[in-house]
């Protein structure tokens, strides 16, 4: 360390000295140039003032007297001398240093006599420096000779020497100051943070917790990348140690709690060298513009939480629609990038869609057709032939990208997500029979009669049956799917083993209730949660009891029915006036689709009507928050709310119910849950309601508000235990584990439906 300081000081001294010398040299040159130009200007002016008198004297033969008098008068101005020359350049008369006049160069004289123009030059002899100014003289309109004035220039040299010495002492002081400041900065900004890092690593190596790690790293802004890497490594070590200790405790206790670490270890052990390829419409990371800066953000999605540990464990590939505004600028020439940005572990392949493709495949067939068809929420499905063609085309595009990523991978594992890609399993299986293909349908599957509305139901079913494993949330959806296959296709279904066999290929159909990332550990919260009053202060409201609803603005969520139930509650129980507020968080969704635009209008009208009926200056019965809230924001509302309303008209699972349960580590709170959600089959300690029964929902809310603390806690404890045991990591491990264990069969002949080409591009 001492040697480092000496080298640093020497480098600073040499560097600053060289820079200062160069700077001073340039400054002296500039200063000298200015002084010389000023001397030239002054001498030229004096020459012009003497020219007329000298010309008269030269014509009268009195040049010598005039020269002597001029030198005498100008001696006080530091003039060296003055001389007159004839047309041949011979000295006529001079006053001043004869030695200098005898050695003057001929150049300025010849120029003045030949061109008839003034000329000047600086000269030097021994310790004497001068400026020679040559001016042509005329008599009777003709050139008669030249006048030479010598001006003393020693003062210019003297000023340059003074400037050099001044610069020397200035440089010496500057070097000393720089060295002192630099040593202080090195000690404060380099050595101190490095000691913090060293101490933190030492503690980690010894298995000791780092005290006030965040505070210690605050002063490391100069080394932010290093600080982040050290902190990331520290967190990884802490998590790895905690995971190992937790796994050891679980083994000792004979329990089987699933965590992200255990899921990753399970995938590595069971899948070996097989790579996992995931396909979803939504991407796990997207690049967007915030102000003038491009940021990489994680869209709100439980899929990312569930499946990232899987892809990280096996260096997998996630194929998704690149929907971010800056996505195209952040991929390589193959439309790939490594993610996560701060710790790349797997590959994201982005697929690009035109506006026409998005409108037809996503807005049209997927969300105006399949979504209302499967949810049976009394919104008429719309099926257009053009949307169906776009749906096929986009499925082919994603399948082609997936197959391209699978090249060179032996026995790949393919996991397709949701109703956006019903045709992809068949396309993948036809091209890669060795691939194990699973698809999970995240929305309900209706009964066979309802699904029969779709004009292309046979093609959709055939596409799905290309998968080796088809997953739904609950057994009812599995049975509905098999019933639909029975009715539509020539296939053999086995209800006992829950399989469907078609063209020599067997597809297993299984329920896998999706969940949330909850392993029982309490999340690290740097600051205490704000109180109910603090959350409402932003909106200028106050209340004693808070109820929360969290949904996308979707007609399947029963938002209007829920608002009417709260209105009925207040109507039946006026006690809650100015005491109870229901906060409805409704993130905008599919705002280009007419049915969603109409729903948004009706929700706003209902909220306004109820509030106008009951609100006071500092209280409203309904607070509507119409924006996309982050997980952290929603978590604050969950924890502050005494009751959570999940009153979907029809839902595959509805993770809001499980998120609310996971958020309440105080083991308090009541969940009012629609019986038409998949979550209702698991969370039996919720208050189960029929969302269409407005009075029944109002009474359930009243029951929740009046429930005693012991019962609330017993119910919440049981629900939390269930969500912890059946978390998102267990869901991913179950579905991928079952896919790995399936017996693979070769495909038989192709049926007439599959023999048809999948699509042709729609005409525009």
| Adjacent-strand bridge partners of 398 | none
How confident is the model at residue 632, as a pLDDT?
A: 83
How far apart CA 118 and CA 129 sit, in angstroms, is 20
Contact between 661 and 643 (Cβ < 8 Å):
no
Structure-model confidence comparison of residues 194 and 583, the more confident one: 583
State yes or no: pLDDT of 17 exceeds 80.
no
Instruction: Return the number of other C-beta atoms located less than 10 Å from residue 91's C-beta.
Output: 14
How confident is the model at residue 73, as a pLDDT?
A: 59
State yes or no: pLDDT of 562 exceeds 60.
yes
Q: What is the CA radius of gyration of the chain?
A: 44
How far apart CA 107 and CA 363 sit, in angstroms, is 90
How far apart CA 279 and CA 103 sit, in angstroms, is 95
Structure-model confidence comparison of residues 508 and 528, the more confident one: 508
**DSSP label at residue 360:** I
Q: Where are the domains of the chain?
A: 2-158, 264-354+392-516, 532-726
Structure-model confidence comparison of residues 188 and 611, the more confident one: 611
Q: How confident is the model at residue 274 (pLDDT cuts 50, 70, 90)?
A: confident
Query: What 3-state class would DSSP assign to 223?
Result: helix
From 34-43, 571-580, 650-659, the region with the lowest mean pLDDT? 34-43
| Adjacent-strand bridge partners of 581 | 546
Q: How confident is the model at residue 87 (pLDDT cuts 50, 70, 90)?
A: confident
Please identify which residue in the block is written with the tokens 């209302």: 372
State yes or no: pLDDT of 137 exceeds 50.
yes
CATH for the 264-354+392-516 domain, from 3.40.50.2000, 3.30.70.2860, 3.40.50.1370, 3.30.70.260: 3.40.50.2000
How far apart CA 60 and CA 409 sit, in angstroms, is 112
Domains 264-354+392-516 and 532-726 fall in the same CATH topology: yes
Question: In sequence order, what E strands does 14-141 have?
Answer: 79-85, 91-95, 119-125, 128-139
Residue partners of 275: CB distance under 8 A and separation at least 6: 314, 315, 316, 317, 406, 409, 412, 413
**DSSP label at residue 619:** B
How far apart CA 61 and CA 438 sit, in angstroms, is 120
State yes or no: pLDDT of 236 exceeds 90.
no
From 32-46, 87-101, 246-260, 564-578, the region with the lowest mean pLDDT? 246-260
By C-alpha distance, which of 552, 613, 559, 554 is closest to 582? 559
By C-alpha distance, which of 478, 483, 552, 481 is closest to 513? 478
Q: Left, alpha or beta for 466 (phi > 0: left; psi -120 to 50: alpha)?
A: alpha
| Angle at which helices 2-60 and 154-185 cross, to 10° | 160
Q: Once rounded to an integer, what is the mean pLDDT over residues 377-405?
A: 95
How far apart CA 724 and CA 667 sit, in angstroms, is 13
Q: Left, alpha or beta for 253 (phi > 0: left; psi -120 to 50: alpha)?
A: alpha
Going from the C-alpha of 158 to that of each of 31, 79, 749, the distances in angstroms are 12, 17, 105
Joined tokens for residue 447: 């009964």
Q: Once rounded to an integer, what is the mean pLDDT over residues 270-274?
A: 81
How confident is the model at residue 3, as a pLDDT?
A: 66
How far apart CA 509 and CA 506 sit, in angstroms, is 10
Whether the model clears a pTM of 0.85, i.e. scores above it, the answer is no
Q: What is the pLDDT of residues 699-753, one digit of tens each?
A: 999 999 999 999 999 999 999 999 999 998 899 999 999 998 887 765 443 433 3
Q: What is the pLDDT of residues 18-30, one digit of tens each?
A: 877 787 778 778 8
By C-alpha distance, which of 468, 310, 461, 336 is closest to 402? 336
* Whole-number percent of the chain with pLDDT over 70: 83
Q: Once rounded to an integer, what is the mean pLDDT over residues 418-446?
A: 96
| Adjacent-strand bridge partners of 120 | 133
Q: How confident is the model at residue 313 (pLDDT cuts 50, 70, 90)?
A: confident
Contact between 375 and 649 (Cβ < 8 Å):
yes
Residue partners of 749: CB distance under 8 A and separation at least 6: 503, 504
CATH class of the 532-726 domain in this structure: alpha beta
Average pLDDT, the chain: 84
**DSSP label at residue 616:** B
Fold for domain 2-158?
Beta-Lactamase (3.30.450)
Contact between 21 and 109 (Cβ < 8 Å):
no
How far apart CA 620 and CA 543 sit, in angstroms, is 9
Residue partners of 75: CB distance under 8 A and separation at least 6: none
Give φ, ψ of 629 to 5 degrees.
-95, 145
Q: Of 89-103, 178-192, 720-734, which has the strongest mean pLDDT? A: 720-734
Please identify which residue in the block is written with the tokens 């082919």: 396
Joined tokens for residue 103: 């050695």
Q: What is the pLDDT of residues 27-53, one digit of tens each?
A: 778 888 888 888 888 888 877 877 777
Contact between 485 and 479 (Cβ < 8 Å):
no
**DSSP label at residue 368:** I
State yes or no: pLDDT of 299 exceeds 80.
no
How far apart CA 706 and CA 651 sit, in angstroms, is 28
């Amino acid at each position: 360390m001492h040697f480092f300081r000496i080298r640093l000081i020497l480098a600073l001294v040499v560097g600053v000295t060289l820079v200062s010398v160069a700077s001073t040299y340039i400054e002296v040159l500039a200063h000298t140039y200015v002084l010389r130009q000023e001397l030239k200007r002054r001498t030229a002016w004096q020459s012009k003032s003497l020219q007329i008198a000298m010309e008269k004297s030269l014509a009268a033969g009195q040049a010598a007297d005039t020269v002597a008098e001029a030198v005498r008068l100008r001696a006080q101005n530091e003039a060296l001398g003055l001389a007159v020359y004839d047309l041949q350049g011979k000295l006529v008369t001079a006053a001043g240093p004869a030695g200098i006049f005898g050695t003057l160069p001929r150049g300025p004289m010849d120029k003045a006599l030949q061109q008839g123009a003034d000329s000047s030059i600086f000269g030097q002899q021994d310790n004497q420096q001068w400026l020679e100014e040559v001016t042509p003289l005329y008599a009777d309109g003709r050139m008669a000779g030249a006048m030479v004035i010598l001006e003393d220039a020693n003062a210019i040299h003297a000023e340059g020497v003074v400037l050099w010495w001044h610069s020397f002492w200035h440089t010496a002081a500057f070097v000393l100051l720089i060295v002192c400041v630099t040593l202080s900065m090195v000690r404060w900004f380099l050595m101190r943070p490095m000691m913090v890092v060293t101490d933190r690593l030492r503690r980690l190596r010894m298995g000791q917790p780092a005290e006030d790690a965040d505070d210690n790293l605050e002063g490391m802004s100069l080394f932010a990348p290093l600080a982040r890497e050290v902190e990331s490594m520290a967190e990884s070590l802490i998590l790895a140690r905690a995971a190992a200790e937790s796994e050891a405790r679980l083994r000792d206790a004979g329990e089987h709690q699933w965590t992200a670490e255990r899921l990753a270890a399970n995938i590595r052990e069971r899948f070996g060298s097989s790579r996992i390829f995931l396909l979803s419409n939504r991407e796990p990371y997207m690049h967007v513009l915030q102000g003038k800066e491009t940021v990489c953000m994680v869209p709100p999605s439980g899929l990312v939480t569930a499946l990232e540990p899987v892809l990280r464990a096996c260096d997998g590939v996630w194929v998704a629609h690149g929907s971010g505004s800056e996505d195209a600028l952040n991929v390589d020439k193959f439309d790939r990038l490594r993610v996560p940005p701060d710790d790349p572990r797997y590959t994201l392949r982005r697929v690009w869609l035109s506006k026409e493709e998005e409108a037809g495949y996503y807005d049209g067939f997927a969300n105006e057709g399949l979504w209302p068809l499967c949810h049976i929420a009394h919104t008429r499905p719309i099926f257009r032939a053009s949307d169906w063609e776009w749906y096929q085309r986009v499925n082919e595009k994603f399948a082609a990208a997936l197959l391209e990523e699978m090249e060179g991978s032996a026995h790949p594992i393919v996991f397709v997500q949701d109703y956006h890609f019903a045709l992809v399993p068949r396309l993948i299986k036809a091209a890669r029979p060795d691939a194990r293909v699973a698809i999970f349908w995240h929305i309900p599957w209706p009964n066979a009669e309802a699904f029969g509305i779709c004009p292309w139901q046979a093609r959709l079913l055939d596409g799905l049956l290309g998968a080796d494993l088809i997953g739904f949330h609950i057994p009812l959806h599995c049975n509905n799917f098999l019933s639909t296959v029975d009715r539509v296709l020539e296939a053999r279904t086995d209800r006992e083993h829950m399989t469907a066999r078609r063209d020599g290929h067997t597809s297993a159909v299984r329920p896998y209730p999706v969940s949330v990332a909850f392993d029982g550990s309490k999340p690290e919260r740097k600051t205490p949660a704000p109180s109910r009053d603090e959350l409402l202060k932003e909106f200028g409201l106050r209340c004693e009891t808070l109820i929360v609803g969290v949904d996308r603005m979707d007609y399947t969520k029963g938002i209007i029915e829920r608002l009417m139930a709260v209105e009925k509650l207040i109507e039946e129980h006026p006690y809650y006036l100015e005491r109870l507020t229901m906060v409805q968080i409704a993130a905008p969704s599919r705002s280009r689709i007419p049915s969603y635009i109409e729903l948004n209008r009706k929700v706003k009208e209902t909220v306004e009507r109820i509030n106008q009926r009951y609100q006071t200056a500092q209280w409203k019965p309904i607070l509507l928050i119409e924006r996309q809230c982050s997980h952290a924001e929603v978590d604050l509302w969950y924890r502050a709310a005494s009751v959570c309303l999940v009153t979907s008209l029809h839902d595959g699972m509805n993770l809001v119910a499980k998120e609310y349960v996971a958020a309440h580590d105080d083991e308090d709170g009541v969940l009012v849950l629609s019986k038409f959600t998949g979550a209702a089959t698991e969370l039996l300690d919720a208050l189960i309601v029929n969302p269409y029964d407005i009075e029944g929902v109002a009474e359930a809310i009243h029951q929740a508000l009046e429930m005693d603390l012991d019962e609330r806690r017993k119910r919440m404890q049981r629900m939390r235990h269930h969500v912890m045991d059946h978390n998102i990591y267990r869901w991913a491990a179950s579905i991928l584990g079952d896919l790995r264990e399936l017996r693979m069969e070769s495909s038989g002949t192709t049926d007439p439906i599959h023999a048809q080409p999948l699509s042709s591009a729609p005409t525009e």
